[in-house]
Amino acid sequence: MCKNRLLVTVLFIASIATSVQAQTINATDSHGLPGKSQDQIASGEKPLKEGATAAERYQSSLKDLTASYEESLKRLTDQNAKVKELFEKGLVSRREVEQSDSSVAEARAKVEGVQKEIAAAKAEPLRGIADASIINTQDPNVAWSTGNKQIDELIRSNGTRYGVDPYLIYCVMNQESNFRATAVSGKGARGLMQLMPDTAARYGVTNPHDPAQNIKAGTRYLKNLLDLFNGKVDLVLAAYNAGEGTVMKYGNRVPPYAETKYYVRSITARYTGSGLRTPASKSTL
């Protein structure tokens, strides 16, 4: 019996290793494709006909992003099935199954989100996105709720404490985890604000699934980014998604990554959609 369990475990680990190796090979190959600029590779965009509009380029990048997300969803779904098989044989814990389920749900939500964005992009022309400065512009009249009074209060209290608009925190949390404290991404981000391990460690988080610790750390990170990028929300969001170093690498502009551009547009559209904030400036993604 012990030998059988050991064999199953070894085979599972080997399959995961093979999957990771395949992803690495695919990533290497993608950077070796001829005929693409570095920005096209970074953004996932395919070469378009000369004179393509910004809307056409954006829709193209969204389609490529959808394909990438769908591939990730399939991989996570296959892994999820294997984890459940091991659980039935008593080789993994229920917690590992729950984390795998959460990763699949997160991947599926990303696919659905991009598909909605594609539909919206087809329905209306590509518009510039406002990057409203949120410092000292908190408006208590904005109606919002996560559906959990405790989480709502943690958002408000931390927003007030660190000078970050609670509604911005809410919008980021909505995009990151859809208000699920147990959320775990395929890249290892955890909790309501989807803190990466390094970010959680930077702000002293010991349990990223604890709403109080997670929201406090996520809010502090947003505040630090606001200070770093002079309150420009588009750059703050880009840095939250891709890292502040990446934003600075591209000259304090939103990096040309399809996922990051989608992330910034989605949250900023929601954040400025209330009509209660006056745009400070415009930036086209």
3-state secondary structure of 173: helix
26 is a domain residue: no
Same domain flag for 44 and 156: no
Quote the tokens at residue 233: 């929300």
**Global confidence as pTM:** 0.66
Say how many residues make up the chain. Answer: 285
Are 141 and 193 part of one and the same domain? yes
Q: Could you give the 3-state DSSP secondary structure of residue 231?
A: coil
Last residue of a domain, one of 123, 139, 169: 123
Q: Are 175 and 169 in contact (CB under 8 A)?
A: no
From first to last of its 285 residues, the chain has per-residue pLDDT tens of 544 554 445 444 444 444 433 333 333 332 222 233 334 334 444 554 555 565 676 677 778 888 888 988 899 999 999 999 999 999 989 989 988 888 888 888 888 877 877 776 666 544 444 444 433 355 556 689 999 999 999 999 999 999 999 999 999 999 999 999 999 887 889 999 999 999 999 999 999 999 999 999 999 999 999 999 999 999 999 999 999 999 999 999 999 898 999 999 889 888 887 444 433 333 334
Choice among 45, 117, 176, 259 that is catalytic: 176
Asked if residue 31 belongs to a domain, the reply is no
- What is residue 117's predicted lDDT score, i.e. its pLDDT? 73
- Residue 30 inside a domain? The answer is no
Q: How many folded domains does the chain comprise?
A: 2
Read off the tokens for 24.
């690495």
Q: What is the pLDDT of residue 149?
A: 94
Contact indicator for 208, 183 with CB cutoff of 8 Å: no
Residue 171 belongs to a domain: yes
Does one domain contain both 258 and 211?
Answer: yes
Tell me the C-alpha distance between 11 and 21, whole Å: 15
Q: Are residues 142 and 274 in the same domain?
A: yes
Same domain, 134 and 274: yes
- Does 142 share its domain with 251? yes
- C-alpha count within 13 angstroms, C-beta hemisphere, residue 165: 26
Instruction: Tell me, yes or no, whether 179 and 267 share the same domain.
Output: yes
- Do 116 and 195 share a structural domain? no
Q: Are residues 108 and 133 in the same domain?
A: no
Beta bridge partners of 283: 129
**In angstroms, rounded to a whole number, what is the distance separating the alpha carbons of residues 182 and 99?**
8
Range(s) of the domain holding residue 180: 129-283
Looking at residue 196, what DSSP letter applies? Answer: -
Kindly state the tokens that stand for 114.
């991009």
Catalytic, 85? Answer no
Q: What is the CATH number of the domain that holds 250?
A: 1.10.530.10
Angle between helices 166-177 and 211-228 (to 10 degrees): 110
Whether 166 and 230 map to the same domain: the answer is yes
Partners of 190 in beta bridges: 184, 195
d(CA 174, CA 157): 18
User: Tell me, what's the pLDDT at 214?
Assistant: 98
> Is 32 contained in some domain?
no
SS3 195: strand
Q: Chain-centre distance of CA 103, in angstroms?
A: 12
**To which H or E segment does residue 167 belong?**
helix 166-177
